[in-house]
Amino acid sequence: VDAKAHLGEGPIWHEGRAELLFLDILNAKVMAYSPERGETTLDLDLSSVTANITTIVPVEGSNSRVVVGTTDGIALLDLDQGVLASWEPHPSSGKLHGEFVRMNDGKCDPQGRLWIGSISRVGPGGADLAPGGASLYRLDGWATEPARVLGGITVSNGLAWTADGKTMLYTDSPTFGVDSFDFDPSSGDISNRRRAVTCAEGFPPVPDGCCLDSEGKLWVACFGAGEVRRYDPNSSELLAVVKLPEAAGPECTAVAFGGPDLADLYITSAHEFWGEEKLAEMPLAGGLFRVPAELLSTVTGSCVSGVRANAFNVNRVGPERPSAIEFRENRYPYARRDLEAES
């Protein structure tokens, strides 16, 4: 799909709509692709209410309501009613971070809590990262306040939960890997952080969005390499690689399974901070790509599929917790490297 996204991101299969939802973060657009119709069925511009749309997750029990990440927080939206009729920012929006930080990737855990992180940028046009200036939050339900779970983050990205619900996988991109946490399903607490997968020792690439498949293996979009890698999160073994066409460029951003049987692999891409000449050389950058099940099986050696996406439980009431303002920072235990900006 030639989406022409500046920063394509956030692919997630919406079972009720039988569509893949995805985003253009920098143009604040929500899009939907129908594999049955073979076309984009939604191109919703939200730039009148937010400069960025950073993640999207269906609301439990609805075929049209979604929760989204915005520049300054979180909001609810009805895809069928449109922005003017249904836009509802969370009361915490605008209070979680300063002007040089925006929200980024997010997903829901199996209990329906929203986990969403931020990214911190400085410099002209926000081209430079501010190490340690971002956070990871958890929203237990719409009536609750976001709890800041981790600080000292630079680019909060991919999230996933194992089938047994006991492990959370999490990506802070400039650390060049994906970490595992012990996850408490009842409280949502995380502990025992350790490295699950190392994608590189330096840029390029860095790990971006991720997802798990039916065999418990981790698919990681590698920004800067133009590819998606399949890893065993228990052994860190690299199992398979899916490369984007050369004309799509190196900015591979996120990955998700979709289709009626969750058997196809979808990949988003970008052309962030590119000039017209570079974009002309790689005109498919910013597109949405599909790897059909038949082709995917030749790469993996088996018929793998995805797992159902968790929806946001808007009515969930969480336990009493400190607010984000009361949070005591929990900095990353490893040595930190700066992420180079691609020229």
CA distance from start to end of the chain: 26
Q: Are the beta carbons of 257 and 211 closer than 8 angstroms?
A: yes
Q: Are the beta carbons of 218 and 178 closer than 8 angstroms?
A: yes
> In Å, how far are 43, 67, 206, 337 from 203, measured between CA atoms?
33, 32, 6, 10
Q: What is the DSSP string of 304-327?
A: --B-PPPPB-TT--PPP---GGGP
72, 109, 208, 264: the active-site residue = 208
Q: Which two tokens stand for residue 18?
A: 């039988």
Angle, vertex CA 149, rays to CA 146 and CA 152, nearest 5: 120
Residue with tokens 């996204």: 5
> In Å, how far are 6, 292, 296 from 197, measured between CA atoms?
28, 26, 22
Q: Are the beta carbons of 66 and 75 closer than 8 angstroms?
A: no
208 is catalytic: yes
Angle, vertex CA 122, rays to CA 180 and CA 198, nearest 5: 25
Q: What is the DSSP string of 204-225?
A: S-EEEEEEEBTTSPEEEEEETT
User: What's the rounded Cα separation, in Å, for the pair 310 and 113?
Assistant: 9
Q: Which two tokens stand for residue 69?
A: 């990440």
Which amino acid is it at 161? W
> In Å, how far are 29, 78, 83, 125, 257 from 45, measured between CA atoms?
5, 13, 8, 21, 25
User: What's the rounded Cα separation, in Å, for the pair 252 and 239?
Assistant: 18
Catalytic residues: 208
